[in-house]
Structures are given as structure tokens and as C-alpha cells.
Amino acid sequence: MASHGKKYLDARAKVDVGRRYGLDEAVDVVLSTHYVKFDETVDLAIVLGVDPRKADQNVRSSVVLPHGTGRTQRVLAIAKGEKAKEAEDAGADYVGAEDVIEKIKGGWLDFDKVVATPDMMSMVGRIGKILGPRGMMPNAKTGTVTFDVARAVNEIKAGKVDFRVDKGGVVHVPLGKVSFGSNKIRENFASLAETLLRIKPSTSKGAYVRNVALSTTMGPGVKVDPAEVKAVAS
């Protein structure tokens, strides 16, 4: 059985584990449990009433958080000609075509996100087994397969987050850093909530948002009233 140190136990003592908090109080409690020296990420976990095994309930999308995540994303754009130039002008960290495909095959992975134009996807498919397991494979549903490469790069740099429901029906999204403070965390939460409700599958039955929890990287989880998702999104 895993044991926890005194600082963690002190942080957990601040949380009423049997309670579902309102959003404002939940954010304040989560930030108060921060006890390590580094600037932790505030993570959100939402359990959805969907069956991920069904294609029409495999919730997947992206959201541009108004305050970003606190992390600078290194963007690779796979494009040619004018589209490559557009990606460079938009601030892509790396731009290329066949050359970067071969480089990735050789083990190069010094980037966080990949954007590709549709005409390059047959080539990108050759490295699907490398990018896919790392969550880096470009996908039209998340706006990373597009001819509007400038917009895609700008959105990622501005704080765009891709998310996808896992096998257990849970969506995990980083909402920023502890240093953001409560207002920015709440506003990022609201943006994610609006997106989740907008893409609710029509075939989802019963309660769509079933459980919500916030936590810092090293801290205890704080349960949030699921009704808060609809409240802040409206």
C-alpha cells in the first residue's frame, strides 16, 4: 500500500472527501493544497456518461483555453511550398516535409504538437505508429489536419488543448498552473465546459457529466458538483 508524506496528508486534511464543492470553492481549495516548490499544473478530470467503445460516443475535440496551460508548445508543421511559409510566419518551431518524416523515423521527437496539410497525410501515415501512441498524430477533428496552417499553429501557441475520452469514459485536461490564480483557472474551466456540452453525443443516455474532480500535480483530488459544468457554460 502506498504511503504519503506529512505535507500531502496536511494538504488532504483541507479537503472534505465526501463533499462535492461549488466551482469557486473547489478551485480555492485545490490551490490551497499546493505544497511543493515547483509550479504545479491544475488538472481536471470529468467522467462522462458515454460508451467510448461506440464510435458515435467517442468524445474527442479541442479547446483554446483563454489563459493557455502555462506551457509553451513546440509545434511541427508538415507542409510544402506556400503552406510551409505560412506555418513559419505563424511561429511554428519546425517546418518540413519528407525531411522531417525521415528525421522522425530516425528517432527525432523534439516537438509537442504536429500540424499537417491534408495533401501530406499519406506521408504522415508512414510515421503513424510513432506519433499515434504519443498523442501527436494530426487529426481533422482537433483541427491539426488543415490547409489553414497559420490558424492551427496560432491556436496551439495560444493555449489550444486536445482531449479525448479514455476507455473508462474520463476526459483529462490541464487547466493551467497554480500561479495562474483562481480567476484564470475558473475561466479556463468554463471554456472547457462549454466545449464539452456543445459536443455531447446525441446517443448519450442519462446524465452526461457524472463526476468532476480538480487536483494539482502532486495534491489530493477535490470533487466538484457536476451541475457546475452546465452552470458556468451557460
3-state secondary structure string, 79-139?
CCHHHHHHHHHHCCCEEECHHHHHHHHCCCCCCCEEEECHHHHHHHHHHHHHHHHHCCCCC
Query: Per residue in 164-183, pLDDT tens?
Result: 999 999 999 999 999 999 99
Query: Per residue in 73-94, pLDDT tens?
Result: 999 999 999 999 999 999 999 9
Question: Given this model, what pLDDT does residue 84 score?
Answer: 97
Name all domains of the chain by residue range, CATH numbers in brackets.
16-68+160-233 (3.30.190.20), 75-158 (3.40.50.790)
- Give the residue from 121, 111, 131, 126 showing the smallest Cα distance to 83: 121
pLDDT, averaged across the chain: 93
Distance of CA 177 to the CA centre of its chain: 13
Question: Given this model, what pLDDT does residue 177 score?
Answer: 96
Across 69-102, b (16+ Cβ under 10 Å) vs e yields bbeebebbbbbeeebbebbbebebbbbbbeebbe
Give dist(CA 187, CA 185) in Å, integer.
Answer: 5
Question: Given this model, what pLDDT does residue 72 score?
Answer: 87
Query: Per residue in 37-83, pLDDT tens?
Result: 999 999 999 999 999 999 999 998 989 999 999 988 999 999 999 99
Question: Given this model, what pLDDT does residue 19 score?
Answer: 94
Query: Per residue in 148-162, pLDDT tens?
Result: 999 999 999 988 998
Q: Is the pLDDT of residue 8 over 90?
A: no
